[in-house]
Amino acid sequence: MAHSDGVKAENDIPGTLHEVVKYFADEARAFEYMKGIRWPDGKVACPRCNCERVSFISTRKKWTCLECRRQFSIKVGTIFEDSPISFEKWICATWLIANAKNGISSYEIARGLGVCQKTGWFMLQRIRLAMQNGSVMKIGGQVEVDETFIGGKARNMHAKMKATRDIQTGGASMMPVQGLLQRKTEKRA
């Protein structure tokens, strides 16, 4: 929302892609925005030991935990971890995906952000995962994983059922399904 003099308030979120690009073109502003999302209460905590006694290294944009003596960045434990892509591009990609009425392809993301298609695909998968979970945080700690195949084998079906389904013999007609469950975190079960 713009004021009467046309200046944007600091806490306003951009509404169009053009505004997003202009607003987050400054890497320091993008960093502060992501810091506010990661730690909304303003208290930076170590992702390993959850200690709030940290020291900020401004030249590297990293923190050092004074308890476990390990360094961490704002990306650790999020969908942005292990990614050299700048926050500016991540935020623009998130805006593109969230505002695409009929979905968006990795080729469109790559063209729009000036990255290769593999990078566009990587970003698309990570952002979709975050949107499904409702969080930018990755699954961690104790995680249970299981997979199975759903559906009947064609050889076990009645002849009429086979004809209507047009199914091959064997397990080709079965749908693979995988489930992941995070058992516990420090804040919730």
pLDDT in tens, 42-72: 889 888 888 889 999 888 889 999 988 899 9
Cβ–Cβ < 8 Å for 45, 54: yes
Asked if 117 and 149 sit in the same domain, the reply is: no
| 57 DSSP β-pair partners | 62
Residues 105 and 175 in one domain: no
My answer on whether 81 and 22 are in the same domain is: yes
Q: Are residues 91 and 27 in the same domain?
A: yes
pLDDT on residue 64: 92
Q: Would residue 107 count as lying in a domain? A: yes
HSE, CB side, 13 Å, CA atoms: give it for residue 130: 21
Bridge partners of residue 181, in order along the sequence:
144
Q: Which of 84, 87, 97, 88 is nearest to 127 (CA)?
A: 97
Inside any domain, residue 149: yes
Kindly state whether residues 151 and 122 are assigned to the same domain.
no
**pLDDT tens for each residue of 144-171:** 777 777 776 667 777 777 666 554 444 5
Q: Are 174 and 109 in a shared domain?
A: no
What's the mean pLDDT when you consider all of the chain? 77
Query: CB of 79 within 8 A of CB of 129?
Result: yes
Instruction: Identify the domain containing residue 161 by its residue range.
Output: 143-182
Residue type, 175: M
Q: How many domains does the chain have?
A: 2
Give yes or no: residues 81 and 29 share one domain.
yes
Residue 102 lies in a domain: yes
Is the pLDDT at 30 greater than 80? The verdict is yes
Q: What is the pLDDT of residue 124?
A: 92
Look at the block and give the residue holding tokens 């209507």.
164
Tokens of 135: 């969080």
Residues 50-74 as b/e (b if ≥16 CB within 10 A, e otherwise) read eeeebeeeeeeebbbbeeeeeebbb
Same domain for 154 and 120, yes or no, is: no
Residue 165 is predicted with a pLDDT of 59
Q: How far is CA 136 from CA 79, 128, 141, in A?
A: 6, 10, 16
Per-residue pLDDT tens over the stretch 66-110: 988 899 988 888 888 888 888 888 888 988 888 887 889 999 999
End-of-domain residue from the set 133, 155, 171: 133
Please give the pLDDT value at position 2.
42
For residues 22 and 84, membership in a common domain is answered with yes
Residue 51 lies in a domain: no
Looking at the structure, tell me whether residues 124 and 147 fall in a common domain. Answer: no
